[in-house]
C-alpha cells in the first residue's frame, strides 16, 4: 500500500513541495502521496496528534511552525537542535523523529559551485534570523577560513555569533555599513534575509561597490530567480547561486530519509523551475 507524506505550514497554497515529491514518487514507481496541509498556529498540536493517529509516514514543516513543532516530537536530531528548527519528520514505528535538511541542503547546493575551495573561503553572511542560523551551523561544521555576520540590527548578529560558537573559530560581527566597507575581503557573500524577495525586487541587502571580482554571491531567495543582488553581482563578474538548489536539496534529503531511495534531483529542479516560470541560474 502507498504511504502518505505531507507538509504543514501556513499558508501552503503556493508550495512547490507536493508536485516535486509526487513527481519523484511517480518516476520511482512508488505508490506514495504527498499532500500540503494548511495548519494555523492554534491547530499545530492537534495536527501533529492527528498525523500520529493516522500513521503518516513523514512530513515537512514550513513557516511558521519550524521551531514550535519541536515540542511535539519524540526526538530531535543534534544538528536540528543546533539550528533550532525542524523541517523534516520521519515516523519510525510511531516515534516522530525531527531533522533539519535546510542547512545540509544549502551546503550541498553551495558545494556544487565552490567545491573544496569552500574550506579556504572568507565568508560573509547577511542576516541573523532563522535562515542565517541554519547556514551558520552547517558552515561551522564544514569549516571555512573565516565566518563574518552582518545584520541591520548588529546586536542580533552578535547574539547569533555567540550562540553558534560550537566551532573552534568565532564569527566576526559587523553592521551592514561596516561590511560594505570591507567587502573586498570576502570570497563568498550569502544573503539569508528576505530583502529582494518578490514583490520587493528592487531592494538590495548590501551595496556591492567593493566586491572582489572573483567572489561567489549566493542568495537563499528563489523568487525571483535572480534577485537584484545576484544581477548586480553577476554584472561585476561574480559567480552567483540562487536558492533553487537549496530548495531542491532539502526536499531530496527529506525524500531519502522517508523512502531510503534517491530521487532524481534534476527532475525535481525541472518541476520547481516550471512553477517559478524560468530557467535555472543556480550556478
Residue nearer to ligand ATR on the CB measure, 87 or 282: 87
Q: With respect to ligand ATR, which residue has the nearer C-beta, 84 or 278? A: 84
- Residue whose beta carbon is closest to ligand ATR: 129
Q: Please report how close the Cβ of residue 38 comes to ligand ATR at its closest, in angstroms.
A: 19
CB atoms within 10 A of CB 110: 26
Rounded-to-integer distance, Cα 133 and Cα 102, Å = 11
Footprint of ligand ATR (CB under 6 A): 127-132, 151-153, 156, 192-195
Catalytic residue from among 3, 66, 81, 112: 66
Q: What DSSP string runs through 218-266?
A: EES--SSSS-HHHHHHHHTT-EEE-SHHHHHHHHHHHHHHHHSS---HH
For 4, residues 6+ apart whose C-beta sits below 8 A from its C-beta are: 32, 33, 34, 35, 54, 56, 57
Q: What is the DSSP letter of 151?
A: E
> Could you report how far apart the first and last alpha carbons of the chain are, in Å?
39
Closest to ligand ATR by CB, 47 vs 197, is 197
In the 3-class helix/strand/coil scheme, how is 38-64 assigned residue by residue? ECCHHHHHHHHHHHHHHCCCEEEECCC
Q: How far is the CB of 32 from ligand ATR (least distance, A)?
A: 29
User: Nearest-CA neighbor of 97 among 81, 118, 110?
Assistant: 81
Backbone conformation region of residue 277, classed left if phi is above 0, alpha if psi is from -120 to 50, else beta: left
Nearer to ligand ATR, 194 or 231 (CB): 194
Q: CB 192 → ligand ATR: shortest distance, Å?
A: 6
Measured CA distances, 113 to 8, 106, 198, 249, 282 (Å): 31, 11, 25, 14, 9
Smallest gap, in angstroms, from Cβ of residue 205 to ligand ATR?
6
Q: Which is nearer to ligand ATR, 103 or 263 (CB)?
A: 103
Smallest separation (angstroms) from ligand ATR to the CB of 101: 16
- Does the annotation mark 66 as catalytic? yes
- Is residue 154 within 8 A of residue 127, CB to CB? The reply is no
Q: Which residues are catalytic?
A: 66
Amino acid at each position: 500500500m502507498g504511504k502518505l507524506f505531507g507538509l504543514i505550514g501556513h499558508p501552503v497554497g503556493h508550495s512547490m513541495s507536493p508536485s516535486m515529491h509526487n513527481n519523484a514518487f511517480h518516476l520511482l514507481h512508488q505508490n506514495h502521496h504527498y499532500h500540503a496541509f494548511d495548519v494555523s498556529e492554534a491547530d499545530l498540536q492537534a495536527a501533529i496528534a492527528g498525523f500520529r493517529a493516522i500513521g503518516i509516514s513523514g512530513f515537512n514543516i514550513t513557516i511558521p511552525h519550524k521551531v514550535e513543532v519541536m515540542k511535539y516530537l519524540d526526538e530531535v536530531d543534534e544538528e536540528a537542535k543546533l539550528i533550532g528548527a525542524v523541517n523534516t519528520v520521519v515516523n519510525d514505528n510511531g516515534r516522530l523523529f525531527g531533522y533539519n535538511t535546510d542547512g545540509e541542503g544549502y551546503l550541498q547546493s553551495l558545494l556544487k559551485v565552490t567545491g573544496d575551495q569552500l574550506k579556504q573561503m572568507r565568508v560573509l553572511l547577511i542576516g541573523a534570523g532563522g535562515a542565517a542560523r541554519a547556514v551558520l551551523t552547517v558552515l561551522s561544521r564544514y569549516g571555512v577560513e573565516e565566518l563574518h555576520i552582518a545584520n541591520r540590527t548588529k546586536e542580533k548578529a552578535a547574539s547569533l555569533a555567540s550562540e553558534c560558537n560550537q566551532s573552534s573559530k568565532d564569527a566576526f560581527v559587523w553592521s551592514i555599513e561596516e561590511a560594505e566597507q570591507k567587502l573586498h575581503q570576502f570570497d563568498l557573500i550569502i544573503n539569508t534575509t528576505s530583502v529582494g524577495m518578490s514583490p520587493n525586487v528592487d531592494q538590495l541587502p548590501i551595496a556591492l561597490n567593493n566586491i572582489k571580482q572573483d567572489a561567489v554571491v549566493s542568495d537563499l531567495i528563489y523568487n525571483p530567480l535572480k534577485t537584484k543582488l545576484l544581477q548586480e553581482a553577476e554584472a561585476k563578474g561574480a559567480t552567483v547561486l540562487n536558492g533553487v538548489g537549496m530548495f531542491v536539496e532539502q526536499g531530496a534529503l527529506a525524500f531519502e530519509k522517508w523512502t531510503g531511495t534517491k530521487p532524481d534531483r534534476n527532475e525535481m529542479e525541472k518541476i520547481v523551475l516550471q512553477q517559478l516560470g524560468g530557467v535555472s541560474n543556480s550556478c
